[in-house]
Structure 1
Amino acid sequence: ALIAKLTPQIKALKVGPGTSPGLDMGPLVTRSHLDKVSGYIADGVAAGAQLVVDGRGIAVPGHEGGFFLGGCLFDRVTPQMRIYQEEIFGPVLCVVRVGSLEEAIALINAHEYGNGTCIFTRDGEAARLFADTVEVGMVGINVPLPVPVAYHSFGGW
């Protein structure tokens, strides 16, 4: 159900030059970074993850030489995959499926990076357990990742 709801939203993201109003995303910063993120996407496909939305190859009229990449959505990502293990720094969302809240917390706590995570739930007990036991620098409960403004510390767990 989550994948079904995410797919049209990711496909509908508006990508274009960063100076244009009404966009969701601008270009990546350099050609080499676009190539690097595209390499992650290719690597995820080769590793067996399901690429549900592929944002590669989008065209932005009037900016054909730009470093644009649309939103990408992977499903069935596993912790052994490079797209799970490394920070991509691009518009790529990876969905890892787990069987329980405890398994999700263990997976988060075992990851090398502990910058931040969030949970969306209607269960107050699950929210408290998550906040009390997950080992990351920032925790969001029913909000996207609460990334701080520049003058706050940001260093992960």
Structure 2
Amino acid sequence: MSSTETCPLYIDGSWSVPSSHPTSPVHNPSRGSVIAGVPMCGAAEVDAAVASAKKAFPMWRDTPPNDRAQVFFRLKILLEEAFHDLCLGIATEHGKTLAEARGDLRRGIEVVEFACGIPTLLMGESLENIARGIDCHTDRHPLGVVAGICPFNFPALVPMWMWPVALACGNCFILKPSEKVPLTMQRVIGLLEKAGLPPGVMNIVHGGRECVDALLEHPDVAAISFVGSTPIAREIHRKGTLNGKRVQAAGGAKNFVILMPDADVDRTVEAVKDGA
């Protein structure tokens, strides 16, 4: 993607670039160059994405889990085939080393592998005679339209924590990647489309606060996942729950290192440096 191109939205199985919104530059931090622009969308685009997902939900919900899992088996193969190119893209738009990019994507692929086992993971429970004349059955059902709001630090891993399992469970998904690193998910969702995911089941919107607020306030979005800073996590949790949504908001994620007297100091220093 050249500096003259704008990241498209992905709504109802189609890629399109909105013309009525300003764009934010996407940089290659290693070179200090602009490699793309990302549209700062708002409520209209979120409404379109939610409508698309809501329309697709009855069909996807009723698709047997075995059939949903086949999409992820095919996606796993496509991700492995494109692994090197995807890692180059992560390193380019984020600035992390190629080794770190490989780890980023590999952990994301592991979630896709997990989603392949969804027919077993979705099994319910049953207990007869829990009381006289009463049997107890537990079934698992999808929520409907759900959304994910992602940070910049892991362009592949964090979004792929969210949507593979959500989709495999029968939900329809709206992804808002970080406006700083939107290109990786654009490429991955292109592969998901190639793997046979029906239109409307997965959607991508771009933007900042206006876009996030529209997701948090939309009555047809049942749940929100977020990863980012603690202050924003608190605000998303507050707004989301105020609007009756299920919210999981992961903030902070600071890692502490305890160095014991018998530790290999050189190896520890390398590990801390690589994880910084």
Higher relative contact order (CA 8 A, sep 6+): 2
Larger helix share, 1 or 2: 2
Larger strand share, 1 or 2: 2
Q: Which has the larger radius of gyration?
A: 2
Q: TM-score normalised to the size of structure 1?
A: 0.33
Q: TM-score normalised to the size of structure 2?
A: 0.22
